[in-house]
Amino acid sequence: MKKKLLIGVLGLSTVWGATVGNAAPITETVSYSGFTGFTSVDYTSEFYGYQKAINRDFTNYGFNFGNESANVLNIDWNSNMRFRLADVDGDKLDDALYYDIVSGQLQWFRGLGNGNFGSANTFQWNDGKNSGFVAADFNGDGVADLAGVKVTGSSATITISYGNGSGGFSGTTIASGVPISGGQIVAGDLDGDKKADFVVYTGTTGSIDIWYGDGTGQFPTASSTNWNGTIVGGEIVIGDVNQDGLADIGLYRSSTHSTGFAFRMGRGDGTFGPKPGEIGTKSEYHLISKHTWDNASAIPRVGQINADGAADLVEFIPGNLYFRTRFAYGLDAYDYSAHLIKDGTGYKLWTGGRWKTVDQNGDPILVNNENVYDGDHILYSHSPDGYQWFRQIERPAFYKGEEEGYSGWWTDNTLEPEVIKVDGTYYMFWQAQIFPGQQVDTGETATVLADRIGLSTSNDGVNWTRKTDRGVVINLASPESTKLTHQEMVYVPDDPDGKKWWMYVYYYVNGAAQSHVRIRSADPTTFDWLERETVTGMGQLGNQIGYANEAPGGRVFVRISFVKNPLANQTHPTIELSRDGLLWVRDASRQYPLLATSDGPATNSNVYFLGLSTIDGTGQLEYLGSDTFRALYVAATSEAPTPPKIFKAEIGLGELQFTFQ
């Protein structure tokens, strides 16, 4: 149901009616004065989920596992039973499934999220008798389905019954003639379409064959790869170890790692782990992992057991369910300061985020023999449609300079990306942290935090060249004590003075907060501090600006930010408007539109550091006609915007449409 919220701006009366955490679309009509050509704006917004764009980045934190523990389940085990982990009830926790391939009886135990399981539930599934048993989500509805694979000669018949989320399975489909001739069979989402695919591993050769599911119970396309050179043997396992939305594969007790697990991370294209050009580079570290585990069982699985968002390793030994939970030695990963652009028909997303720091050789930096040293990096994700996202897992957008053997003002933590694409070149403006005692870009020694704005360029948005001689802002009066932070960029090709590049930046002097200013420039490498202009009405930091060229009365600048709902303890996305880019409709005495906000738990209940999709990141918003505009928006969902609570942040996704009236 859409809820109407009438908001008075610039002195008009206000009636609040938004529902906190409401996932349904919210429609609001906001009255404005002072804008020629329109008197109100209709906003319709929907928030799709607090981690819909980016799940918490365990990409290179998730390779650590804790100690084993055991849970005893009351199972009358026999040699005909097969053990799997899958989410039968759709609660995003895996349940323990035991299927007797002779009797056809399925027993499943609901995962409780604390390492324990509930009492047994039973289902009689005769279609899976005398065949290989697999449980996975084959139709993409979020609940597990049952699959039986029966191999006859050089082909297989795959029978799938679809789960209803309550422990029932029906609507059986059959795929016949699938060219599977034998081997170990597992299933998981290899290409990120939310529909499970089949993986067949031939242990004697190390070959891996993949059949991609289309969501209807058929597997029309295939690809082949191999484990890695001469590695053979072992038991294949599958699961999303690094939480990037793509299944990873591992071997348990293979020829080269006989005491536990060895994983290769899925790339989404049917390959796993480092490609030839990545072997021996820093990327290799992020694409493989090994874990020692000496239990006697040879039936390992990967699943979500303890509700911390990280995958767990699980083995079944008759009478017990052993599992090892994954953790990151006290360091949480996070994503924040999201910047979103519409690039052709797809989307690109850059975030600041925590990533394990490596040394110049690509080896982890150890503290007390544990790989715990972190750094803030720029992380990159992409989407074909704005709704289905993929994280670049082999490396950040670029490493901190110290990881490549350099020293200087630009080599420490890197954050706050803002990207503009002009004439085929991507320009990324980023904030470099400079701590007291370090040199700033003009050679002085910083007396306080003295961050600068840096620039990198790219031809594809993936591979970057960094400008290192200085930051892009020049002529600071007190460079050793001035901090530039949370820049926001707009490209205005018809600027009357030819200064197409607009930078909004907040600054501090001697650690004291000042204000937002705008600097316009004809050159993206140089913004003159002496030409800064006063900006009023901008609220909060770390957001994104667009503009509606076709708005009635001429261009309107649109900035997405966040504001506290006065009737609830939760922040909402909000919109600020400006005709000239200097005076923004926002200050502490006024009320604003409340767009749909986070539906997450307390740790992810608020939204901060928002991004608004504009065409090529220039600022131009997508125009639908009839004075109507559309954009996706992303936000860091967290309990608070500062440590330690920001360390739980994930990137949520929403959609906005608005019409000038």
What separation in angstroms does the CA of 208 have from each of 61, 163, 278, 285? Answer: 27, 28, 20, 22
Question: Is there a domain that residue 319 lies in?
Answer: yes
φ, ψ at 547 (rounded to 5°):
-150, 145
CATH number at residue 143: 2.120.10
Give the angle 47-50-56 at the CA atoms, nearest 5°.
Answer: 150
Q: Report the b/e string of 153-164 with b at 16+ CB within 10 A.
A: eeebbbbbbbbe
Question: Is there a domain that residue 9 lies in?
Answer: no
Determine the residue type at 72.
Answer: V
**502, 531, 560 - which closes a domain:** 531
| The pLDDT of residue 110 is above 90 | yes
pLDDT of residue 551: 98
182's tokens: 């034998």
Residue 253 and residue 266 in one domain: yes
For residue 417, give the H/E element and its range: strand 414-422
Q: Alpha-carbon torsion 333, 338, 343, 345, what sign?
A: positive
Give the least confident one: 263-272, 283-292, 383-392, 582-591. Answer: 582-591
Residue 224 and residue 132 in one domain: yes
Question: Is there a domain that residue 1 lies in?
Answer: no
Burial (CB < 10 A; 0-12, 13-18, 19+), residue 463, is exposed
Residue 319 and residue 231 in one domain: no
Residue 561 and residue 606 in one domain: yes
Question: Is there a domain that residue 43 lies in?
Answer: no
Q: pLDDT over 70 for what percent of the chain?
A: 92
Contact criterion met (CB below 8 Å) for 126 and 108: no
Residue 272 and residue 392 in one domain: no
Residue 319 and residue 464 in one domain: no
Give the largest CA-CA distance in the chain.
81
Please confirm whether the linkage preceding 644 is cis (ω < 30° from 0): yes
Contact criterion met (CB below 8 Å) for 612 and 631: yes
For residue 284, give the H/E element and its range: helix 282-287
Dist CA 240 CA 265 (whole Å): 8
The partner residues of 100 in beta bridges, in order of sequence, read 81
pLDDT of residue 260: 87
Question: Is there a domain that residue 21 lies in?
Answer: no
Q: Scanning the structure block, which residue is given the tokens 């119970």?
A: 217
Dist CA 593 CA 610 (whole Å): 15
Residue 128 and residue 270 in one domain: yes
Residue 208 and residue 167 in one domain: yes
Dist CA 323 CA 360 (whole Å): 35
Burial (CB < 10 A; 0-12, 13-18, 19+), residue 120, is middle
Mean pLDDT score, 434-443: 98
Instruction: Give 480-499 pLDDT, tens digit per residue.
Output: 999 999 999 999 999 999 99
Mean pLDDT score, 341-358: 93
Instruction: Give 188-205 pLDDT, tens digit per residue.
Output: 999 999 999 999 999 999
pLDDT of residue 364: 75
| Local confidence band at 34 (pLDDT 50, 70, 90 cut-offs) | confident
369's tokens: 């023999």
Instruction: Give 517-539 pLDDT, tens digit per residue.
Output: 999 999 999 999 999 999 999 98
Question: Is there a domain that residue 423 lies in?
Answer: no
The count of structural domains within the chain is: 3
Determine the residue type at 595.
Answer: L
503's tokens: 């930078």
**Helices (runs of H) and strands (runs of E) counted in the chain:** 1, 45
Please give the residue that has the higher pLDDT: either 320 or 437: 437
385's tokens: 């449609």
For residue 330, the Cα-to-chain-centroid distance in whole angstroms is: 20
Instruction: Give 629-656 pLDDT, tens digit per residue.
Output: 999 999 999 999 998 899 889 999 999 9
pLDDT of residue 441: 98
Give the least confident one: 176-185, 275-284, 615-624. Answer: 275-284
Residue 568 and residue 518 in one domain: no
**505, 531, 557 - which closes a domain:** 531
Contact criterion met (CB below 8 Å) for 435 and 446: yes
pLDDT of residue 8: 30
Question: Is there a domain that residue 41 lies in?
Answer: no
Residue 292 and residue 320 in one domain: no
For 234-237, which contacts have Cβ atoms below 8 Å and span 24 or more sequence positions? 234/203, 234/262, 235/184, 235/298, 235/299, 235/300, 236/184, 236/186, 236/199, 236/201, 236/203, 237/186, 237/261, 237/300, 237/301, 237/302
pLDDT of residue 23: 57
Average pLDDT, the chain: 90
Residue 289 and residue 331 in one domain: no
Determine the residue type at 636.
Answer: A
| Local confidence band at 6 (pLDDT 50, 70, 90 cut-offs) | very low
**303, 330, 352 - which closes a domain:** 303
- For 602, the domain range is 307-397+536-660
Q: How many CA atoms lie within 13 A of 226 on its CB side?
A: 11
Residue 321 and residue 345 in one domain: yes
Dist CA 591 CA 611 (whole Å): 21
Residue 359: count other Cβ atoms within 10 Å of its Cβ. Answer: 16
Dist CA 36 CA 533 (whole Å): 24
φ, ψ at 655 (rounded to 5°):
-135, 140
Question: Is there a domain that residue 20 lies in?
Answer: no
616's tokens: 């090529």
Alpha-helix residue ranges (DSSP H) falling in 494-646: none
